Amino acid sequence: QLVELMGGRIWLESEIGVGSKFIFEIELDSKEDKRTYNMFSDKRVLIVDDNQSWHEILSNTLEMFDMQVQHAYDAREALEKISLAPVKYDLILMDWNMPEIDGIQASREIQGLCSTCNKKDICDNVTSPMIIMVSSFRHETLVKSARDAGIDLFLQKPINPSLLNDILSDLFLDKNSLHNYVEDTQKSLKDDIKLLAGSKILLVEDNGTNQEIILGLLENSGIDIGIANNGKEGVEKFIKDDYELILMDIQMPIMDGYEATKLIREIDSTIPIVALTANAMKEDIQRTQKAGMNEHLNKPIDVEKLYATLIKYVTKKITKPLKSVEVEMLDKFEIPEFVNIDSKIGLKHLLDNKKLYLKILNDFKDNYKDLSPVGLIPCGKLEAMDEDEFKRTIHTIKGLSANIGAIKLNKVSQKLDTTQSKEFYSEFYKELDSLLQELSFKLYTKNKSTNNFDKNEISKELRDKLFAELKVAVNTKQVKKCKPIIERLDTYILNKEDKTLFEDIKILIKKYKFKDAIELMEKV
């Protein structure tokens, strides 16, 4: 019908045992001002991105334009290549969100590097290369920051090759035309992710807080997410059920992500497996690829890359996003002023979801409150851990501290994660203790000031009805069935006994311990 509406014709040619051809013809206008691709053969371009797949995609396109392409997988490598280059780069395609140094900061450093270059006799690095910022998301604040940093153009992934050809032509020939492309490339991944509604993916992750983060970021996507708490559970769930993609943590007890991937690949060589890890070194990425994983996402999880990865590998189920009930009045959640945390960083990782951010902070406080030394006891729990448990604990704290914006704790966690040296224990305990004390005081004060303020009295009939509904939901062993009932019960004032049971049940559900939750429901 579409072909006929466009004034064309469509037909089928088929031969038994040979195959079929589906053919259509339509009449299209020729493109005006068509440019040839080989006009860029003298141009040198540097792709700066920590994602291997984007390197391959952009490299294929740029090489089709006959450009000279080189690669850097983080900002530091890019700065090194630029400083050592005997001939300047004409263009840098810079990813925005990268570990340690983001694309905007890297662009500033590149401009500073070029402005102080003393190699004028052998290169033209005194003039900064043109920089195009590339991102899967388009935030107005991000675009403004890019402009303030002197970046020539901001583009949104995915990039159409024909559009890129036009942009390159105008970039090198007529910069006045550049602004026309900015609006054309706008696309919301938040809308696109909803086209995957009804898809089924498996999250293999041992840390409950990291599970909460992924679930929170995909809360309104309509994607059905299965949970496994270690690699062994992940393999078992994969065998029992049909999934379209697996998000695989690397460092887990019982069975790590590498071993789990190996076993899954023996069964299925095609299902996309995406590594989740706080290790962002080039060799770590190469190891995940060698293990059979398709992609690598760094912790803290960059939401735009998470969405882009899912959209890349999971088949869209619908053509138009379904209307979903978004979380309303998120601004009613107030974030305290912290000393040990940069809440702007934490909120950025969670799409400014204040409710989820406060929950993650509370989880961090509860999960690690017993880790540091207490009173006169000189040693904490780190000293008592075996090597594997120590590595998992520090690795997890490294990722979570980055996620919530605890910069000082994250830095010392990185040192411990790299060296495992006891010389950093004292600094680690100091930063952890300062953070936990602040969270305990400020979150308690905030909770106390708002506790029961917006809650209503509950009748016996409604109380019985909601707990009965929760019991049914718990028996389904699906968090998404339990969540709306839990949220509704949370709006009422419960008696002391009910409140204690309800809080215990919520914790069990959050940890996916449905068997224990079912047993506890019998006491209600």
Residue 403 counted as domain residue: yes
Q: Give mean pLDDT, residues 43-57.
A: 87
Task: Say yes or no: 137 and 115 in one domain.
Answer: yes
Higher pLDDT, 186 or 507: 507
What residue spans of 118-267 are helical by DSSP H?
140-148, 161-173, 179-184, 189-192, 208-217, 231-240, 257-267
CA angle 172, 174, 176 (to 5 degrees): 130
Q: Which residues on adjacent β-strands are paired with residue 14? A: 20
Report yes or no: 206 and 230 within 8 Å, Cβ to Cβ. Answer: yes
In degrees, rounded to 5, the angle at the alpha carbon of residue 442 between the alpha carbons of residues 488 and 298 is 80
Question: Do both 106 and 209 map to the same domain?
Answer: no
Measured distance between the N- and C-terminal CA atoms of the chain, rounded to whole angstroms:
59
Please determine, for residue 33, whether its predicted confidence score (pLDDT) is greater than 70. Answer: no
Structure tokens at 224: 């059905």
176, 269: one domain: no
Between 64 and 364, name the one with better pLDDT.
Answer: 364
- pLDDT number for residue 165: 78
Selection from 134, 178, 189 nearest residue 311 by Cα: 189
pLDDT for 466 beyond 70? yes
Residue 1 lies in a domain: yes
pLDDT over threshold 70, residue 314: yes
Give the span between the Cα atoms of 101 and 52, in whole angstroms: 18
* 263: containing domain: 192-313
Are 150 and 61 contained in the same domain? yes
499 and 446 assigned to the same domain: no
DSSP state letter for 195: G
Q: Does 496 fall in a domain?
A: yes
Candidates 222, 201, 227, 219; CA nearest to 303 is: 219
Residue entry with tokens 């940890």:
511
Residue 29 — pLDDT band, cuts 50, 70, 90? confident
- Does the residue 324 lie in any domain? no
Highest mean pLDDT among 147-151, 197-201, 317-321, 490-494: 197-201
HSE on the CB side for 313, CA within 13 Å? 21
Based on the fold, state whether residues 48 and 86 are members of the same structural domain: yes
Q: Say if 321 falls within a structural domain.
A: no
Question: What pLDDT is stored for residue 86 in this prediction?
Answer: 79
Q: Is residue 151 part of a domain?
A: yes
322 within domain boundaries: no
Last residue of one domain, picked from the residues 450, 481, 512: 450
Residue 429 near residue 373, CB atoms below 8 Å: yes
Residue 26: per-residue pLDDT: 92
User: By mean pLDDT, which of 10-19, 196-205, 333-342, 455-464 is the weakest?
Assistant: 455-464
Averaged pLDDT for residues 21-26: 94
Claim to verify: residue 45 and residue 183 sit in the same structural domain: yes
Do 219 and 232 share a domain, yes or no? yes
Domain end: 283, 313, 343, which one?
313
Residue ending a domain, choose from 187, 218, 235: 187
Q: Please check whether residues 21 and 54 belong to one and the same domain.
A: no
- The answer to whether position 325 is within a domain reads no
Q: Are residues 281 and 354 in the same domain?
A: no
Helix (H, G, I), strand (E, B) or coil at 201: strand
460: Cβ–Cβ under 8 A, 6 or more apart, which residues? none
Per-residue model confidence (pLDDT) at position 325: 43
Q: 230 and 182 in one domain?
A: no
pLDDT in tens, 160-200: 777 787 778 777 765 544 444 444 433 456 777 888 888 99
Give the list of residues 6+ apart from residue 517 with CB closer than 8 angstroms, or none. Answer: 474, 505, 508, 509
3-state secondary structure 269-307: CCCCEEEEECCCCHHHHHHHHHCCCCEEEECCCCHHHHH
Sequence-distant (6+) residues with CB within 8 A of 187 are: 138, 156
pLDDT at residue 239 greater than cutoff 90: yes
Q: How confident is the model at residue 121 (pLDDT cuts 50, 70, 90)?
A: very low
In this prediction, residues 474-484 reach a mean pLDDT of 86
Which residues are registered as beta bridge partners of 245? 201
pTM for the model stands at 0.56
Which range in 92-106, 134-148, 196-210, 306-320 is most confidently predicted, on average pLDDT? 196-210
Please tell me the total count of domains within the chain. Answer: 5
CA distances from 161 to 51, 60, 64, 136, 152 (A): 19, 10, 9, 16, 19
Residue 106 has pLDDT above 70, yes or no: yes
pLDDT at position 159 over 70: yes
Average pLDDT, the chain: 81
How sure is the predictor about 432, in pLDDT bands with cuts at 50, 70 and 90?
very high
CA separation for the pair 402, 419 (Å, rounded): 18
Could you tell me the CATH number of the domain that includes residue 154? 3.40.50.2300
More confident site: 133 or 201: 201
